[in-house]
Structure 1
Amino acid sequence: MMKRLLTGAFLAAAMLGQAQEHNTSAKYIYPSDTLVQQKLAHWQDIKFGLLMHWGTYSEWGIVESWSICPEDEGWTQRRGPYSQTYNGYVKAYENLQTTFNPVQFNPQKWSAAAKEAGMKYVIFTTKHHDGFCMFDTKETDYKVTSSKSPFSSNPKSNIAKEVFNAFRNDGFMIGAYFSKPDWHSPEYWWPYFPPKDRNVNYDPRKYPEKWNAFKKYTYNQIKELMSEYGKMDILWLDGGWVRPYSSIDQSVDWQKAITYNQDIDMASIASMARTYQPGLLIVDRTVEGEYENYVTPEQTVPKKAMLTPWESCLTMGNSWSYVPNDHYKSSNQLIHLLARIISRGGNFLLNIGPSPQGDWSDTAYSRLKDIGAWMKNNSEAVYNTIPLEPYEDGNVVYLQSRDKKNIYVYVLADEKNEDVTLPAQIDLKNISLSKSAKVSILGNKSAKAKLQTTAAGVSITVPAALQKAPAGKYAVVFKIQL
């Protein structure tokens, strides 16, 4: 009853979730551990991953966690019958634990769809900023496996473990999203004081015993994930305001608002985590240094190649979390995002928010199926590739194989038309050919394109038959063997 009553009212607030911005770090420290180096190199080659934001907030169809944050931002606005008082709203929000019952939860279905789409790694939200745990932690009762939650009696109640096992069995690299701040923990938002913003609501220097208790709580939860949930490849830490005060970048607006030193001793956490998971990639988002093994620009694609390992995390819909009738990007847009991101040397981490019933929308499955059909012909131009300048020129995107023996030229469809219409000639920039170089079209063995060197450079001559009708959907890829 409450869910039906609130869903429509909260829709506008949910759409604002994408406004939360994360900045990339200005400095990067390449990992010295050879096992981490090897895993990082492998991760950079697999290019395409899945992110899932999921928690009790899906019941109201609202932005994840942020509506309980007492900041006056677009993405923190409260809506619905409980919104008039902060304390009443938080009580109702936390009471969602007693109704969260995703009986359609089937992680094998998700894994199969993601695998068909060509995804190679998964990052799952074990705990977001609201503190609700999607795993069977021993540190709090605010978790999906608590007897307070109706889903606790389900054989799949330890949701994170079920997700990790399903995707691991399908060959995925496994990543655990974990929020460093915890707005439910009395050691972070101490009930003695009201919370003022996203940050800890007391001075850790003045109350060191309270902060040390929070550090222990965080350490123990991460230890559980690293020691009890099988082989882990990535620890993806969010909530960059929990950081040493000395690491704050005063040129970044949201970091200027951090008033306290919130050092949780990442050196100790990393050492412990890698004891259980040798070679573990650690992504302490926006906190530059040795514990940010790759950087994570959010909802954006850099214009040029970045020198550091990186991934763009973007939503398939408008929101990170589930929103009823969300507007999803088209298959055409998603494949173009993939092409542009990898052409700059990054990975594409695509987010889908599961529903409160425990499934994705039909549209999400449809998009992944379309991507998978395209990948069957073109995956060699995705995996194990590196950037090639000029990266992008109009509707042409450039890549090369890691061994530099092949160049891949993507011709993208028009943004409003998924069919690719090829011109008679495609002029290339910054390409040098050997005498033995030859060109082909991925997925079309019969097409006989030709290479031509002119005074102006190199061009691809397109067969007349391919000019008269659509040559493919979303993006047609020419392979030039050097």
Structure 2
Amino acid sequence: MSEQDSERQDIEQAKAGPLTPADFAQYPEYSALKKNWHWFQNQKIGVLLHWGLYTVPGMVESWQLSDEDTWARGNKPFRPNMRQLKRDYWGLATQFVPDHYDPDAWARLFKEAGIRYAILTTKHHDGFTLYDTALSDFKVTNPDYPAAHLQQPDLFGRFTTAMRAAGVMPGAYYSKADWHYPDYWRHDGLPKGRHADYLPSEDPQRWQRFVDFVHQQLLEISGNYGPLGMLWLDAGWVGNQREPLDFDPLMAQIRKLQPEMLIVDRTIGGRYEEYVTPERQVPDPDHLPTMPWESNIPLTHDWGYVPHGQYKSIETVIATILRVVSLGGNIVLGVGPKVDGTIAPPYRKLLRQLGAWLQLNGQGIYGTRGVQPSLFKRAAQLGWFVTEDAGHYYLFPQMTVPPRQLDLKRFDFPEAISGAALLGRTQASLPLAPTGCLGLPGGLRQQLYPGIVCVKATAGTPEASN
């Protein structure tokens, strides 16, 4: 499923040739990376939370600030001209009041939904930080802003504590661009594109100040908030040859602070893109990423909260998860909290529906791996998704009404099947004939993507657990 469209131009494409995990063997962090990759690929489902000043008016993240990104303003710009738009946008910091923010409630919701990791924006391209940085006054804890007067104004700090307490691994999103910082964009009223408003090679001292700023903020995030699952770096145009960030010495320091954290310098390629992040798409089975990967799929059209958003159906969400996991990837679902810190009812409904489905079928998702592309395509032709682990294959029907008989030999599994059962609380065994035909109960037709566990002949007897 692809969500890319011609309207949005914030979707970044990979900019470097494919690497494989073996290419990292030359680096001293390789042993830790193998452990971290294994953990990551077992988690399968995360959320990515875009939250910031843009939620005050309910507009598409902070992209309207960039003069060149006309797509973000469309027919409904935040203000009629860019000078007024920027002035009023920066002023939204005085209206950002998350007075109903309850990260413990978020954590309970995510746990109920079967979410294994949650990534929160520490800073989007607009430069406003949701944590207490010492490098800028444009932050949620600035005493001139109303959010600073909350009992615990460091929103990211509260988030990380709540997530870990609930058993959900927290991660940090950070935009390497900063359109508020004067060594990236001058506050001179002139038009600005998404890049720095000068060539760093022509003013290296100014650029070095910005590099130092980015380094120190990333050290704050990595050093002040306990263990993190991933540092998810956005704004892939920063860090390339035009805008180099000199990450080698920085990342060595960060790895000492966070030895179990994955660094995701997305779309850049190379040593610091430790997994890849196809955005609004699921890769084609004939062109799968060669690195561990995670599809980024918002639950609406937008990443941040937009009133009257078009939410996906639970059928679409589960089908997308099944396709991603069958191909060997993770999925991170985009959720946009409202300005007051609450998560809108349609998001909550979708997440709880997902959790109910995973309560029955999670064994076929968590800890599994994708099947070979040939098996994926063969199963798809038969109308099924397939995942596997060391001892089992897991089948999920793509069709609304599964058949009463399923000929397992048509899948041409590499291993023989010794038995089968329904996933879920009943652990009901299914009749498997010597011919390889599996009997499916009629009640399966009333369920949403019901999972079937098929036991590989070397794995013993069929069982289903949650």
| TM-score normalised by L of structure 2 | 0.89
Within a 5 Å distance, the mapping from 1:63-462 to structure 2 comes to 63-77=60-74, 79=76, 83-191=79-187, 194-245=190-241, 261-304=242-285, 305-389=288-372, 390-391=375-376, 392-394=379-381, 395-401=383-389, 403=390, 405-414=391-400, 420-426=401-407, 428-434=410-416, 437-443=418-424, 445=426, 447-452=428-433, 458-462=436-440
RMSD over equivalenced CA pairs, Å = 2.1
Secondary structure of residue in 2 paired with 1:147: coil
Q: Which residue matches 1:50?
A: 47
Q: How many residues align?
A: 437
State the alpha-carbon separation in 1 of the partners of residues 256 and 10 from structure 2. Answer: 33
Mapped to 2, the partners of 1:17 and 1:51 lie a distance apart of 22
Percent pairwise identity: 30
CA distance in 2, matches of 1:193, 1:103: 33
1:253 aligned residue: none
Instruction: State the Cα deviation string for residues 257-308 of structure 1 (Å, max 9, x = none).
Output: xxxx200111122112112111321000100101000000001011214331
How far has the Cα of 1:358 moved from its partner? 1.0
Deviation per residue, 1:396-438 (Å, 9 max, x gap): 001111x2x1111111353xxxxx544433554231453x710
Shift of 1:241: 0.3
Read off the aligned partner of 2:392 and give its amino acid letter: N
Are the equivalent residues in 1 in contact too, given 2:114–2:355 (CA < 8 A)? yes
The answer (yes or no) to whether the contact 2:421–2:427 under 8 Å persists in 1 is no
**Using a 3 Å threshold, how does the CA distance of structure 1 residues 72 and 49 change in structure 2: closer, same or farther?**
closer
Distance 2:120 2:224 in 1: 16
Once the two structures are superposed, residues 283-334 of structure 1 have per-residue CA deviations (whole angstroms, 9 ceiling, x without a partner) of 0010010100000000101121433100001101111010112121111111
- 3-state SS of paired residue (1:45): helix
C-alpha distance in 1 between matches for 2:427 and 2:116: 30
1:248 corresponds in structure 2 to none
Aligned equivalent of 1:475, options 449, 454, 458? 449
* Range 187-196 or range 54-63, more displaced: 187-196
CA distance in 1, matches of 2:289, 2:266: 16
Change (3 A) 1:446 1:348: closer
CA contact (8 A) 1:17 1:64 kept: no
Name whichever of 272-281 and 184-193 sits farther off. Answer: 184-193
Q: Is the 8 A contact 1:408 1:478 kept in 2?
A: yes
Q: Distance in 2 between matches of 1:118 and 1:349?
A: 12
Distance in structure 1 (CA, Å) of the matches to 2:360 and 2:75: 46
Residue 29 of structure 1: how far off its partner (Å)? 5.1
* Cα distance in 2 for residues equivalent to 1:18 and 1:439: 45
8 A Cα contact 1:70 1:76, kept in partner: no
Instruction: Answer with 84-93 or 470-479: which moved more.
Output: 470-479
Deviation of 1:121 after TM superposition, in Å, equals 0.7
The residue type paired with residue 142 of structure 1 is F
Amino acid at match of 1:400: E
Spell out structure 1 runs of 4+ moving beyond 4 A: 15-19
CA contact (8 A) 1:18 1:318 kept: no
One-letter identity of the residue aligned with 2:11: E
Q: CA deviation at 1:384?
A: 1.1
Q: CA 1:17/1:154 → structure 2, altered by over 3 Å: closer, same or farther?
A: farther
8 Å contact 1:17–1:319 — kept in the other structure? no
SS in 2 for 1:190: coil
From the superposition, tell whether residues 168 and 447 of structure 1 become closer, same or farther in structure 2 (CA, over 3 Å): closer
Structure 1: distance between partners of 2:407 and 2:160 = 45
Structure 1 residues 79 and 171: CA distance shift in structure 2, 3 A: same
Q: Which runs of 5 or more residues in structure 1 are unaligned? A: 1-14, 246-260, 415-419
Which whole-Å CA distance do the structure 2 matches of 1:213 and 1:54 have between them?
A: 27
Contact 2:112 2:352 (8 Å CA) reproduced = yes
Counterpart code for 1:386: R
Structure 2 residue runs without a partner (length 5+): 457-466
Amino acid at match of 1:479: V
